[in-house]
Structure 1
Amino acid sequence: MRLSTTFALFSSVITTIYAAAPNTTVDLGYAKYQGSLNNATGNFEFLGMRYAEAPTGTLRWRAPQLPQVTPGIQPANVFSNRCWQAGPGIRPVTPFPLGSDSPKQKRAAPDFSEDCLFLNVVTPASGAKNLPVVVWIHGGGYEGGSASVSVGAGIYDGNDMVREAGGGVVVVTIQYRLGVFGFLAGQKVHDGGALNAGLLDQQFALQWVQRHIEKFNGDPNKVTIWGESAGAGSVLQHVVANNGNTDPPLFRAAITSSSYLPSQYAFNGRIPEQIFSEVVQGTGCSSVVDTLTCLRQANVNDLEQVNVNVSNNSFFGTFVFVPVVDGHLITERPTQLLRQGKVNGQALLSVTNTFEGAIFVNTSTADTVKTPTYLANLFPEFHDTDIIAGTAQYANQGAPIDQAVAIMGESIFICPTYFLLRAFGDKGFKGEFAIPPGDHGQDVLFYFPSDTPPSFNNTVFINNFAQSFLNFAMSLDPNVKWDSTNTVPQWARWNEQGRNEMLFNKTDADVPVFHSIATSAALLERCDFWESVSAFSAQ
């Protein structure tokens, strides 16, 4: 074939691809963004697109606002700044008085900024229309993480999920206000601002998806929200938001990887008010009458230092800037709403890890920790009767340090997942990730393996495991597979009559393991206990 003929054929193919592909310039009304082709994946990327106005100054602790109109065409080829961050508690005891009767990256990591309400979209260059949409909500205890860089390691790369779906989805990754900026509570915030600002950011981003995702070839009626850790906790919050009757609906399905449900107090309870007072004192606002206005005028660096200090001052492994019951978006404790079956979404897929609590327990206290004391510090609203009953529940779970690990993992991550499953009836699927050591967060690199290989770098396992989530997002059923080489066996729905879940593990010889197991009856009994005391664990 002559060179001219070859070139003509090549040009024809490229022209056909680009004619079918989405326009790399997208008009959102308030701004035009110029995306780019990722030559390595063949997908189009739109990175760092603003979805809300900068929540600074007088907009601190207010509901997100529509962005101002920006003229010209904005480049969308780099990740945006990350939201300000903090970390988990490191104190040996809780700072809250106990109850009255209780004893390596491919791209440079972006900077931090209060102006951080941005999202990213990755869409296949195939030009296929009306594709299902996956919205990824990052984890980090509501105090860390971003839409680009994970808390542990690696990059949240939407290209990975597009690949794992065989090019059959559009992927959106979002950011939201964190820590004191996103989850400061108290009566004054209620009266002069917006509670759960971080959740409102997420909801605003989901509304953005409804308005604009068709411009990226996504179908707004086929949205699945998926998160890990606090991202999965966020999914849980949106499932129960507005009494499970968000109108119009913002998603059709939900995926949780390690659902996170810490104590979620009433917005003006004693603990949120104590945290508010600590923030006011730390920023030098305690001498003024209008403390919220003072906080809005505080230097962002000073506020960030308070964010870190208050967070570090909490009990080891816990986070204090988390969602509250605000009476509007979240009308009751999530456990109450789930018990009533008040849920948004048509289907659920949930996976937990075997040892969710291990990284949140101070193992240096193995020789000194006492289960009753641990329970009292983890749940400072517990009464003596709750502590005694909780200690009895875990008496046969090994040494006290093992009991602490089990309590942390089951009460805050694993049992809330079963509460979710029960609320969805027979519309849910349950899995367990057990690749040793089975720690919290270990599964993330299996969804996003392109930057940092996961601990078990086995192609069959990675494909089978990750594809299961994307299969569900595309068809609401992980058994409907786009890849004929996927060997995950029939995955039964989880319900009270058939408590079956899919195990993802490996043998000692590094052979992938995929098979159905029955949910432990003893575990579910312990979950019943946690539900029974949820008024005092504030879940």
Structure 2
Amino acid sequence: MKKVVTWVTLALGLLPISVAAQGQVNVTIPSGTIMGSSVEDVEFFKGIPFADPPIGELRFKPPQSLSTHLGDFDATKKAKLCSQGPVISAPSKPQVVPFALEAERESFGNPVPPENESEDCLTVTIHRPAGTEAGDNLPVLFYIFGGGFVIGGTSAAINDPTVLVQTGIDLGKPFIFAAVNYRVGGWGFMPGAEILRDGSANAGLLDQRKGLEWVADNIAAFGGDPSKVTIWGQSSGSISVFDQLVLYGGDNTYNGNPLFRAAIMNSGSVTPVDPVDSDKAQAVYEHVVRVANCEGDDSLGCLRRLPNERFAAAANAIPGLISYESLALSYLPRPDGTVLTASPHVLAREGKFPAVPMILASQEDEGTLFSFFQGNMGSTDIITDYLNSLYFPNADRSLVKSFVETYSERLEDGSPYRTGTFEGLLSYPGKKRIASILGDIVFTLVRRWTLETIAEVSPDTALWSSFASYNYMQPWDILGLGTKHGSDTDVFFARNNTYFPSITGRTYYINFVYNGDPNDGLDVNVTWPGWKEDRQLLWYNATENGYLADDFRNGSYNFIKEHIDSLIF
């Protein structure tokens, strides 16, 4: 493994940092004068509306262009989060129930104070280097937050880009960071035939697209270049990035110009999924209608007329993101024939995406965070029944069992990987095995399938991929999370640049934002190999970077590749 020299000297001040006093800064756009503020070298404009409030008759509807003038708009306060879905729920007794909607469960509540939430939430937040002016034409990094399509927002602390933007300034590669708020949970991704007939499927994806259109129309006034936009997402935001690639059959243009020129996907890419009116999706809709007491000929109209508090109680009467049901999500983008014309894996295979440079990243232990509440998974048959009921209801049980059998029952082979028999607290039979499977079917091995498919159908598309082991064998990891899903948000957003993975990772990404190539620009020391060359991953570690062959768990990968049309969520 090739090592790099540490960049602590660079991070600690090889490039000077100027400190600006906090103060107000204004930008005028067609919809109003946006009044922001600055802290040190970074200016911010928070919660700028880009669409009419999606309330009342507009609940579930595609976003409508902003129809009111903002006047002098105070953009110095935190943007409201969109109404949030359930976070954690655990059944009173682990059991497999069709579509996971009837299990008795205990809710652990939403950790976000309700006063920080609003159904009127379609906003963009901008961070830029202090002193940036119209005409500076800086590249733009457009961020789509994660949270399992049920939680999250631009104002969440884990998504604060101040250090990232400051790093660009310090390295002499300034850029603008734009983050979009979009509807989550039942507000943004309600499924069902009624939603399909109403033309209201995938509203959350359309919120993201409307935010991109706002950037195209307005970012020049903030000093950005609308022709130099890179889209970036993490987790469900990363899945959203891939969906933006294939939206409208791969048409990413607006007013005749591309909305973005490159894409970064951290932990998420293709998700093979059934249509918005499939049996599983319809069961979700009918469950919400029943809980809301909206059964009847006008169930959708009834849901729209509910006060938001009552609608939230019904929409959130589904498993939380951290639950027995785990990644068998009730709310997520689903094919509707118009916005998503087919399952994303089908669109990928048909080459219906713009051939822009792409980075796809994975954490080593993507599944551990989602394997707390399953209980006994101590046999192949138990895991088969679990996956067949919740994840792959249309697949033959024998096929699902054959897939499970590609995973070893040995503790030494499960996740967290490379930790021997260590399981961590809250262990149960089969925990490391189910963690491995969940991480692969949603993130790690599906990432490889996405890369291989793109490479085959679009040979000119430049591809890079990475694998992160920042937290391997850390003494504080008593829960057995390893380098868990979401570890990268801390690395890219929170940690300072004395932390080796942060300064290196940020440098690769800043190069990519500038040039569509993570190696082109600032010195990275370890060249990030293109994935198509010989399927090498950039391997992030705590004190060095190196290379890793993208061929681990090949038996499971080959099974996914052969049967992906049957392994549909």
TM over 0.5: yes
Aligned to 1:494: 531
User: 1:277 is matched with which residue: 278, 286, 291?
Assistant: 286
Aligned to 1:156: 159
Secondary structure of the corresponding residue to residue 386 of structure 1: helix
User: 1:268 is matched with which residue: 267, 277, 297?
Assistant: 277
User: 1:228 is matched with which residue: 202, 223, 234?
Assistant: 234
Residue 421 of structure 1: how far off its partner (Å): 1.9
- 1:57-77 deviations in Å (ceiling 9; x for gaps): 000111101122235311110
Aligned CA distance change for structure 1 residues 341 and 527 (closer, same or farther; 3 Å): farther
Secondary structure of the corresponding residue to residue 294 of structure 2: coil
- The answer (yes or no) to whether the contact 1:31–1:70 under 8 Å persists in 2 is yes
User: 2:187 is matched with which residue: 177, 181, 188?
Assistant: 181
- Cα distance in 1 for residues equivalent to 2:71 and 2:264: 37
Secondary structure of the corresponding residue to residue 202 of structure 1: helix
Secondary structure of the corresponding residue to residue 272 of structure 1: helix
TM-align CA RMSD: 2.6
Q: Which amino acid aligns with 2:246?
A: V
Aligned to 2:505: 465
- 1:192-220 deviations in Å (ceiling 9; x for gaps): 24100000000000111111111111111
Residue 108 of structure 1: how far off its partner (Å): 9.9
Aligned to 1:515: 546
Aligned CA distance change for structure 1 residues 212 and 310 (closer, same or farther; 3 Å): same
Residue 110 of structure 1: how far off its partner (Å): 6.4
Q: Describe how 1:76-95 pairs up with structure 2 within 5 A.
A: 76-87=75-86, 90-91=90-91, 92-95=94-97
Q: Which amino acid aligns with 2:221?
A: K
Residue 264 of structure 1: how far off its partner (Å): 2.1
Aligned to 1:124: 129
| TM-score, normalised with respect to structure 1 | 0.85
User: 1:432 is matched with which residue: 448, 457, 467?
Assistant: 467
> Larger deviation: 308-317 or 294-303?
308-317
User: 1:477 is matched with which residue: 517, 520, 544?
Assistant: 517
Aligned to 2:312: 304
- The answer (yes or no) to whether the contact 2:406–2:555 under 8 Å persists in 1 is no
- The answer (yes or no) to whether the contact 1:254–1:345 under 8 Å persists in 2 is no
- 1:215-271 deviations in Å (ceiling 9; x for gaps): 111111111110110010100111111222333321111101101655622111101
Unaligned runs of 5+ in 2: 1-19, 101-111, 415-428, 456-460, 472-481
Aligned to 1:216: 222
Secondary structure of the corresponding residue to residue 231 of structure 2: strand
- The answer (yes or no) to whether the contact 2:269–2:450 under 8 Å persists in 1 is no
- The answer (yes or no) to whether the contact 2:159–2:489 under 8 Å persists in 1 is no
- 1:478-527 deviations in Å (ceiling 9; x for gaps): 11233x5x54x0111001x5101110013xxxxx120122112x434423
Secondary structure of the corresponding residue to residue 565 of structure 2: helix
Q: Which amino acid aligns with 2:51?
A: A
Aligned to 1:25: 26
Determine if the alignment matches structure 1 residue 205 to structure 2 residue 211.
Answer: yes
Secondary structure of the corresponding residue to residue 85 of structure 1: coil
- Cα distance in 1 for residues equivalent to 2:121 and 2:565: 35
- Cα distance in 1 for residues equivalent to 2:138 and 2:58: 35
- The answer (yes or no) to whether the contact 1:503–1:516 under 8 Å persists in 2 is yes
> Larger deviation: 404-413 or 361-370?
361-370
Q: Which amino acid aligns with 1:527?
A: Y
User: 1:393 is matched with which residue: 377, 382, 406?
Assistant: 406
- 1:382-403 deviations in Å (ceiling 9; x for gaps): 2122112212211364573222
Determine if the alignment matches structure 1 residue 140 to structure 2 residue 139.
Answer: no
Q: Which amino acid aligns with 1:513?
A: E
- Cα distance in 2 for residues equivalent to 1:252 and 1:471: 14
Residue 366 of structure 1: how far off its partner (Å): 5.0
- 1:269-308 deviations in Å (ceiling 9; x for gaps): 101111110111111111x311111111011101111222
Aligned to 2:47: 48
Secondary structure of the corresponding residue to residue 232 of structure 1: helix
- Percent identity between matched residues is 26
Q: Which amino acid aligns with 1:441?
A: G
- The answer (yes or no) to whether the contact 1:82–1:110 under 8 Å persists in 2 is no
- Cα distance in 1 for residues equivalent to 2:355 and 2:130: 29
Aligned to 2:38: 37
| TM-score, normalised with respect to structure 2 | 0.81
- The answer (yes or no) to whether the contact 1:61–1:193 under 8 Å persists in 2 is no
- Cα distance in 2 for residues equivalent to 1:48 and 1:528: 45
- Cα distance in 2 for residues equivalent to 1:211 and 1:246: 15
Residue 345 of structure 1: how far off its partner (Å): 4.7
Determine if the alignment matches structure 1 residue 190 to structure 2 residue 196.
Answer: yes
Determine if the alignment matches structure 1 residue 448 to structure 2 residue 488.
Answer: no
Secondary structure of the corresponding residue to residue 393 of structure 1: coil
How many residues get paired? Answer: 490
- The answer (yes or no) to whether the contact 1:94–1:378 under 8 Å persists in 2 is no
Residue 357 of structure 1: how far off its partner (Å): 0.5
- The answer (yes or no) to whether the contact 1:372–1:391 under 8 Å persists in 2 is yes
Secondary structure of the corresponding residue to residue 24 of structure 1: strand
Q: Which amino acid aligns with 1:372?
A: T
Determine if the alignment matches structure 1 residue 384 to structure 2 residue 397.
Answer: yes
Secondary structure of the corresponding residue to residue 545 of structure 2: strand
Residue 161 of structure 1: how far off its partner (Å): 2.3
Aligned CA distance change for structure 1 residues 340 and 525 (closer, same or farther; 3 Å): farther
Aligned CA distance change for structure 1 residues 404 and 108 (closer, same or farther; 3 Å): closer
Q: Which amino acid aligns with 1:480?
A: D
Determine if the alignment matches structure 1 residue 529 to structure 2 residue 559.
Answer: yes
Aligned to 1:101: none
Q: Which amino acid aligns with 1:322?
A: L
- Cα distance in 1 for residues equivalent to 2:126 and 2:439: 33
Q: Describe how 1:349-368 pairs up with structure 2 within 5 A.
A: 349-362=359-372, 365-366=375-376, 368=378
Secondary structure of the corresponding residue to residue 163 of structure 1: helix
- Cα distance in 2 for residues equivalent to 1:282 and 1:430: 43
- Cα distance in 2 for residues equivalent to 1:234 and 1:364: 27
> Larger deviation: 437-446 or 125-134?
125-134
Aligned CA distance change for structure 1 residues 234 and 110 (closer, same or farther; 3 Å): farther
Aligned to 2:116: 111
Q: Which amino acid aligns with 1:235?
A: V
- The answer (yes or no) to whether the contact 2:272–2:345 under 8 Å persists in 1 is no
Q: Which amino acid aligns with 1:159?
A: T
> Larger deviation: 195-204 or 233-242?
233-242
Residue 330 of structure 1: how far off its partner (Å): 0.9
Secondary structure of the corresponding residue to residue 443 of structure 1: helix
Residue 418 of structure 1: how far off its partner (Å): 1.9
Aligned to 2:105: none
Unaligned runs of 5+ in 1: 1-16, 99-106, 507-511
- Cα distance in 2 for residues equivalent to 1:212 and 1:97: 43
